[in-house]
Amino acid sequence: MVLTYARMTLIGYMSILALVLAACDSESKEKKTGQALVSVNGKEVTMLQLNDEIKRANIRPDQYEAASKQLLESLIARQLIMDEAISNKLDRTPDVMQARERANAQIISQAYMQSIVSKVAKPSKAEIDDYYQNHPEYFSQRKQFDLTIVRIATKDLDDELKKIIEAAKSLDEVVAWLDKSKVQYLRNLASRSTTDLPSQMVAMMQQKSKDTIFIINEQENSLLMSVNAIMDSPITAAVAAPQIEKFLINQKYKEATDAEVARLRTVAKIEYFNDKASTSKAEKTATQSTVSPPPGVTDNLNLAEPVLEGTIERGIMGIK
């Protein structure tokens, strides 16, 4: 079977909520557009709907026939469940109505932002070359760090363990104490480069001795990490160019969306009705980047400052 029954059921049932949220009033008798494939309680399931499901499921041409049958049954099941939900007035509950409004606003907002970023020009070769030349630490002078990482529960990182880490000459000594004290941990080896790690951490790794144990707090877990070796791992301009291009285009997308939100603020009439709802100018600027970008837009491409930066800034400590 091309797609398992469990997978097809999951695809159909996971889509039920979205379909309920987007459904018209139960009294509406307006017909769907597209060639009808089946009628479910007087409501048509169309070829247009089926094709959309096939597109979302990334079906290969040779899988089309078998997958179409399964997806059609999934659409029928979804329509049946949606009809039953509406008959029980679940589409009128406050939570569902609010979720519907939010989903509608999100879809429309993303469509508008997509129209904004679609006008952004791709980075030129000169821009890509400049980025390569201005960031040798990520490319021509890139380093690779071979690490030993021990993951423990943060609740186990008490004052006693911190004293053991401070006095230890190596991570192996800490691991021996963990074994003796029956503290659970996971130990593994990893390789990371300067393009994978935040600049603050890279600097500390290069400055400290190999006996240094770094502690990285990750909420419920903490990482104890030591550097085994540092090696040169340069990347040529030709190899780096595609990744730099993606990174720069995403930067431009973010700048374009932030600028558009700022522009809309200047022409809009915004009234705050209580002090708690109002924000300062600085806070307004900071919130601009929280607007959801169009699909495919991301700030992190393992270049410059990865997402890990925030975690490291909160938790990294060098302990001899």
Contacts of 296 (CB under 8 A, 6+ apart): none
Q: Please write the tens of the pLDDT for every residue from 148-174.
A: 999 999 999 999 999 999 999 999 999
pLDDT for position 87 = 94
Separation of alpha carbons 195 and 197, rounded Å:
6
pLDDT for position 105 = 95
Separation of alpha carbons 53 and 67, rounded Å:
10
Count the neighbouring beta carbons within 10 Å of the beta carbon of residue 46.
Answer: 17
In this structure, which long-range contacts are made by residues 175-182, counting pairs with CB atoms below 8 Å and at least 24 apart in sequence? 175/150, 178/150, 178/152
Q: Amino acid identity, residue 218?
A: E
pLDDT for position 209 = 76
pTM across the whole model:
0.61
Nearest CA among 120, 109, 134 for reference residue 254: 120
Ranges of CATH 3.10.50 domains, the chain: 128-235+311-319
CA 29 to chain centre: 39
Handedness of CA 121, 125, 126, 127 (dihedral sign): positive
Separation of alpha carbons 21 and 25, rounded Å:
10
Per-residue pLDDT of the chain (320 residues; tens, 9 = 90+): 444 444 444 444 444 444 444 444 433 444 445 589 999 999 999 999 998 888 888 888 888 888 888 999 999 999 999 999 999 999 999 999 999 999 999 999 999 999 999 999 999 999 999 999 999 989 999 999 999 999 999 999 999 999 999 999 999 999 999 999 999 999 999 999 988 888 888 888 888 877 789 998 888 999 999 999 999 999 999 999 999 999 999 999 999 999 999 999 999 999 988 766 555 554 554 444 444 444 443 333 344 333 333 333 333 333 33
| CA separation, residue 54 to residues 60, 66, 78, 80, 252 (Å) | 9, 11, 15, 20, 32
pLDDT for position 108 = 96
pLDDT for position 60 = 81
pLDDT for position 289 = 45
Q: Evaluate whether 36 touches 46 at the Cβ level (below 8 Å).
A: yes
Assign domain 128-235+311-319 to its CATH architecture.
Roll (3.10)
CA 9 to chain centre: 26
Separation of alpha carbons 97 and 89, rounded Å:
11
